[in-house]
Structure 1
Amino acid sequence: MNVLVYNGAGASPDSVKHTVSTLRRLLEPLYAVCTVNAKVLQTEPWEGKTSAVVFPGGADLPYVKECASVIPQLKKYVSKQGGSFIGFCAGGYFATDFVEFAVGDPLLEVFGKRDLKFYPGIGRGPAFHGFKYNSEAGARAVTLRLPNGDEFKTYYNGGGVFANADRYENVEVLAHYAEPLDVPHSEKAQTPGAAVVLCKVGKGRALLTGPHPEYVPRLLQRMHDHEYNESMVNILGEHEVARLKFLKDALTRVGLHCNSNFADRIAPSLTPLLLMSPSKPQLLSEFERNLEGADVCIKEDIVTLKGNTDNFQIYKGYANYEAASSELLDQEPDEASKSIIISTSDEPYAPRTLTPNFDTKKYYKYLNPQTSVGSLLMYGEVITSSSALLNNNRKLLSLFPDTSMLHVGTIQVSGRGRGGNTWINPKGISASTACVNVPLASPRTGRPISIVFVQYIAMLAYCKAILGYAPGFEDLPVRIKWPNDLYALRPDYYFSKNITLTGKGLSGYTVPLDELEPAFVKISGLLVNTSFFNNKYSLLLGCGLNVSHDGPTTSLNTWVKLLNAEREKCNMPLLPEVEVEKLQALYMNNLDFILKEFVDNGVDRMLPEYYNLWLHTNQIVTLTDHQNIRAKLVGITKDYGLLIAKELVPGTNTQFTGNVYELQPDGNSFDIFKGLISKKVT
């Protein structure tokens, strides 16, 4: 399940950073913590896969404007569907019935009704004088007092008090301000101000705060502000364990499950990126020649390349690993200069001591010598985002030889997805981005190439790599969701239906189309970034696949264990566990082969394989932007890769009216669980 953190108009970048950091520390791997904007909340089918929606600190009025169309969804999600809402500071104001902020101050005053109304009273603030937008001038370490009398200090900057909280039956105060406030907050004398409240809203709950218990002291130390208060940060550091314990208890009260070992879960430092090509050393030579011709600075054999958004320090030889690694220690991942180490002929593979989670020699063992894609490997134990690093730094990307590079990371700390989502990929999630180049027209036939099919090709290649991993893997219940997501059967559905899969191959167990929601769960998604230069398309195919992570969905190795339990009963040889290195190599082999076939001959050979592995054969859907007509999916157009839906005669599932609809992959939200296809709002 997901925990979605709003990152759109009104959200402070620092607040988003602190919120995501703390929630990941407390909630992952039990939940996937990712960021979304208002468009995603409005257009994507997120409710059934989300345990909580979080609005961080920032400014309340932009929330009101940007999320006006989303508010009815949020209210329904919480009150009717039992979801959870969490609002920190501005997010807390946003969820009240009425906001009174800096009343009487012509520069700061905000005064008015709010529509969420999770807290039925007034959010009034600032609780303490001195607040300035985009400044630390009014920041302080405030003391919060818990119902049991315990106290701890946490960060505060402009937050409010929940006025007269003791008046409302559906409101429980989880923490009071221990100090006198600068605004009225209760009709009862001597009643302390409510700083953190838990509101019961229909079937769901809302956790709202005035201060910032989500703020991380070590991240505050990196803030560049002339009002920065070092003594305040030191005080907050002394209360770090109490802060995390309070927030863990609060998140548990809102219905989330938290890590028991959160104290040890700190975001890791980045590690150097190791660049190698033992099977085709000429690719490294070409990269180095391109680097010499680029605008670089060379000092003491270290090449510094200024990318579009990141700087890169490039070393030659693994003997420089310690020096390269020390430059990254305790640095903010998105702000640090990245280190790249180019392998030498003496050490063509990365030493295992530097790559304990990925055996580069094993990867090349399974990579076909004729394969182009992935023959140049750039690996990092801890990276920002395999996709964003390359997409945001086209200067670096342009230095790699065409259709050769694969970027792999074991842990991603700034993963990217569609709609601007960000998340952390822990160990067990195979994160990679393949760089491919495609000509405008086929050199063999002269026909223009429709690159929309590359997303289909990539997911088909990954699916084939999984099912062809070893004998018996054809029984894994893994299928493609249009256009480029990979889904697997849910283990709980498998057990509830007493399903057996061994020996059934691709026919497997046929899930009724109206049971796709309980039956299948996403284990992989593809993000394609496309640009055009040197008279050809340049595509980055970013993919994260759950190989062995015990997270909120399921994994390939979970299914290996389930199938082995079946095979053991039949006295059949057991399946091997999936190794990331071999799987990545097989993915590259399949991608290279299918892509070359596509460039030479078009989609005729690829589409039947894609249909054989997708979830949607003969699926009946409702076209909500066409008067809710019912239609059956019959395939994909061969020119632009549009989904083909034939309209059904009302009351039948087999007779057609003759009307045919073609739907764009990037212009429609397709919820296979609800059977709906509708245009996205742009």
Structure 2
Amino acid sequence: MFTFEGYFQSLADSLQICLLKAGGVRDQSNQLIFPIHTKGARDESFAKICDEDDPQVELDSGWNFQSADYFRHTTAELLGNCVLFADRIPSTVHIIDRLASVLLKDINVVCVAAQQSSGKGRSGNVWESPLGCAMFSFPLVIPLATRLGQALTFVQHLVATACVLAVRNTPGYQDVDLRIKWPNDILTSDKVKVGGILVTSSIMNQTAYCNVGVGFNISNTKPTICLNELIGKVSSTSNAFSIERFIGRTLSELEKLLREFAVSGETTFLPLYLKYWLHMNQQVNIRQVNENPEVKSQDFAGKIIGLDKFGFLLVRLESGELWSVQSDGNRFDMMANLLLLQRIS
């Protein structure tokens, strides 16, 4: 008979990372690492974890993951059907890295942390992880023969769009100022960062295994601005978002986008994505930076006109030539309207 407890115990043993006891994942010293929350609990030992009347686990951060709030705000049938919650860990991305390749196909874990000590950002940057920030990671398994498998760059664009829609598709929150910055950030119209996405992937047996990490400021007013501040600017009556609500809504929107992309690819998705991004017809200077310091950089002027069919940034130069710009290794400085391209000679 399948049980979550037995399954995660076997995972813990094989990965040598934790033990599962008494309603959660614990380390070798029996300290609670992950309370586990499951939708429609599959055995009695986990049913009490989903019970709205059951007291939540008290943790050092002072924030307790409210499973009832999370499951009330998600309509996803697959994504995030099992939640691993950690009070403080180095990174949720690291946990998914350890688990993703060995998880059963129908168990779609999302790992949530109250705090991270080594949150990961793009290009090796560290994502600051204060309390009040939604920090979560989850795996996506994508066959290469599918539409998305042929254009994996779109994964980060789909996730960014889902983050925006999680708020702006909620009645009463349509005017909240959230926009998309290429390739993987959520900003305000004033170019203040609210959140970011990190997607890493590996390919094995004609399948892409993606690890998606999201950091999004919900109630923390530092280091920049947070979602609930933005909500307060457009409505004095709308309720603040909880972290659980945001994560549940994001995974719900993402699951819908993934299903639509599987049918129609970028044709249906791009108009929605471009509706919320910051760059249409933006004039930019493009600088090709050579890794060889003896080779002089080259500068070009151009205009951003969208994304191509692979999800790369599409730029039209003054000469009329079209360039597709990959996100890997390249950087966009919006304050200077400067697109930096790494070129290897």
* Same fold, TM-score > 0.5, yes or no: yes
Q: 1:421: Cα distance to partner?
A: 2.7
CA distance 1:387–1:358, change in 2 (3 Å):
same
The answer as to whether partners of 2:153 and 2:312 remain within 8 angstroms in 1 is no
Q: 1:409: Cα distance to partner?
A: 1.1
Structure 1, unmatched stretches of 5+, are 1-281, 295-302, 330-337, 490-518, 566-573, 649-656
The residue aligned with 1:592 is: 255
The residue aligned with 1:378 is: 84
Q: 1:287: Cα distance to partner?
A: 8.1
CA distance 1:290–1:425, change in 2 (3 Å):
closer
The residue aligned with 2:70 is: 363
1:624 aligns to 2:294 (yes or no): no
Q: Matches of 2:15 and 2:246 in 1, distance apart?
A: 33
CA distance 1:328–1:589, change in 2 (3 Å):
same
1:354 aligns to 2:57 (yes or no): yes
Q: 1:404: Cα distance to partner?
A: 1.4
Q: 1:462: Cα distance to partner?
A: 0.7
1:641 aligns to 2:311 (yes or no): yes
Q: Matches of 1:635 and 1:587 in 2, distance apart?
A: 24
Alignment of 1:254-653 (within 5 A): 285=3, 288-289=6-7, 292=10, 304-307=13-16, 311-315=17-21, 317-318=22-23, 324=26, 327=29, 339-340=33-34, 344-349=45-50, 351-354=54-57, 356-368=63-75, 370-391=76-97, 393-394=98-99, 397-401=101-105, 404-442=108-146, 449-471=150-172, 473-489=173-189, 519-564=190-235, 574-625=237-288, 627-638=298-309, 640-648=310-318
Q: Which amino acid aligns with 2:130?
A: P
Q: Which amino acid aligns with 1:434?
A: F
CA distance 1:634–1:387, change in 2 (3 Å):
same
Alignment of 1:76-155 (within 5 A): none
The answer as to whether partners of 1:486 and 1:525 remain within 8 angstroms in 2 is yes
Deviations 1:642-668 (A, max 9, x none): 2111122xxxxxxxx321111111131
Q: 1:360: Cα distance to partner?
A: 0.5
Q: Matches of 1:591 and 1:619 in 2, distance apart?
A: 27
Alignment of 1:56-95 (within 5 A): none
Deviations 1:552-587 (A, max 9, x none): 21111111222235xxxxxxxx11111111111110
Q: Matches of 1:589 and 1:479 in 2, distance apart?
A: 19
Percent of aligned pairs sharing the same letter: 25
Give aligned pairs, total: 323
Deviations 1:470-524 (A, max 9, x none): 31x11111100001100024xxxxxxxxxxxxxxxxxxxxxxxxxxxxx221111
Matched residue SS, 2:50: coil
Q: 1:342: Cα distance to partner?
A: 5.2
Q: Of 660, 668, 674, which residue of structure 1 is paired with 2:330?
A: 668
The answer as to whether partners of 2:9 and 2:19 remain within 8 angstroms in 1 is no
Of stretches 380-389 and 358-367 in structure 1, the one that deviates more from structure 2 is: 380-389
The residue aligned with 1:213 is: none
Q: Which amino acid aligns with 2:192?
A: V
Q: Matches of 2:56 and 2:34 in 1, distance apart?
A: 17
Q: TM-score when scaled to structure 1?
A: 0.44
Of stretches 343-352 and 659-668 in structure 1, the one that deviates more from structure 2 is: 343-352
Q: Which amino acid aligns with 2:283?
A: I
Matched residue SS, 1:673: helix
Matched residue SS, 2:267: coil
The answer as to whether partners of 1:313 and 1:340 remain within 8 angstroms in 2 is no
The residue aligned with 1:169 is: none
The answer as to whether partners of 1:411 and 1:424 remain within 8 angstroms in 2 is no
Matched residue SS, 2:87: strand
Q: Which amino acid aligns with 2:188?
A: A
The answer as to whether partners of 1:386 and 1:433 remain within 8 angstroms in 2 is yes
Q: Matches of 2:110 and 2:231 in 1, distance apart?
A: 26
The residue aligned with 1:508 is: none
Alignment of 1:209-220 (within 5 A): none
The answer as to whether partners of 2:127 and 2:215 remain within 8 angstroms in 1 is no
Larger radius of gyration: 1
1:659 aligns to 2:328 (yes or no): no
Q: Matches of 1:485 and 1:643 in 2, distance apart?
A: 14
Structure 2, unmatched stretches of 5+, are 38-44, 289-296
CA distance 1:609–1:671, change in 2 (3 Å):
same
Q: TM-score when scaled to structure 2?
A: 0.84
The answer as to whether partners of 1:286 and 1:401 remain within 8 angstroms in 2 is no
Q: Matches of 1:456 and 1:526 in 2, distance apart?
A: 9
The answer as to whether partners of 2:56 and 2:65 remain within 8 angstroms in 1 is no
Q: Matches of 1:664 and 1:359 in 2, distance apart?
A: 39
Q: Matches of 1:341 and 1:397 in 2, distance apart?
A: 21
The answer as to whether partners of 1:470 and 1:575 remain within 8 angstroms in 2 is no
Q: Which has the higher contact order (CA 8 A, sep 6+)?
A: 2
